A = this chain, B = another copy of it.
């Protein structure tokens, strides 16, 4: 029996400024359409997740791929993960610069190596060996990214010391990771997450996004999830696994997300969001930040939103 395909995506949970609302909504809608095209024509959940995230990475509105924020050294270091729920196969990259689409490299790690996570220079060498074209940092960063780094440096100089510089500034800046979960007609689940991280991060810093069980997880016995928000906090609570633990206990996907986010706020503070499909195919969207851009297509019905309570229809 064929499953009803489902796709749910997010463009990051944070205090998205009014100036980015329109482009964020248009971006997640276009990405969901790209993934849906694959799912509705019988394509795989993994293919849909990759294609969707490529659209988001190529959209400079989002902090992933083109549009990634900058490290204190003015470099771009991107993180991504992709995972399928049948055999728990996954591929991930962290601190990878100079490629257009980290999610594609993550998939190549999954399919062409015995490893699950490659980082830094080793990840870039792998990408080159396997024929992924390299591009310049300049083509990944945007004028907005450079301006944000300048604001960070000014803030940092004024109020903070050396190693713990982010603590105050973190609350002011965005964490707009992108992510996708998909269920295909064969009933297979997949998920993916991609990010440029946070402005002014130390070189070598890795947040939750590429970490299995933190930024994403997929398991046919539970569901698929992709998270966004304060990376260190999400890591501390292994948010993706925790949301799916709730699903395993029979909690509906939307409530499973809310429980996970509440647990995170209670134990380590900070906020975030997630998209989820539970093992029965129920989509879930949740965030406890001011805004999160999201889009979902289920049974040919396409909806999206950015403020709490939004339900904006668009063409699938």
Chain A residues in the interface with B (C-beta under 8 A): 77, 87-90, 94-95, 112-123, 125-126, 129-130, 162-167, 170, 201-207, 211-214, 217, 231-232, 235-238, 241, 245, 267-268
Contact (Cβ within 8 A) B211 A125: no
Instruction: Establish whether residues A201 and B121, one from each chain, have CB atoms under 8 Å apart when the complex forms.
Output: no
Hey, which chain B residues are within 8 Å of A89, CB to CB? 236
B213 touches A241 (CB 8 A): yes
Specify how many copies of this chain sit in the oligomer. 2
**Which of B90, B114, B212, B231 makes the CB contact (< 8 A) with A167?**
B114
Contacts of A125 in B (CB 8 A): 203-204
Decide: A164 near B204, CB < 8 A? Known: A95-B120, A212-B236, A235-B212.
no
Contact A113–B164 (Cβ < 8 Å): yes
Instruction: Assess whether A115 is in contact with B201, with CB atoms less than 8 Å apart.
Output: yes
A202 touches B122 (CB 8 A): yes
In this complex, what residue of B is CB-closest to A115? B205
A5 CB, min distance to chain B CBs, angstroms: 24
- 7 tightest Cβ-Cβ pairs between the two chains A and B: A122-B204, A120-B120, A122-B203, A213-B238, A88-B236, A114-B166, A118-B204
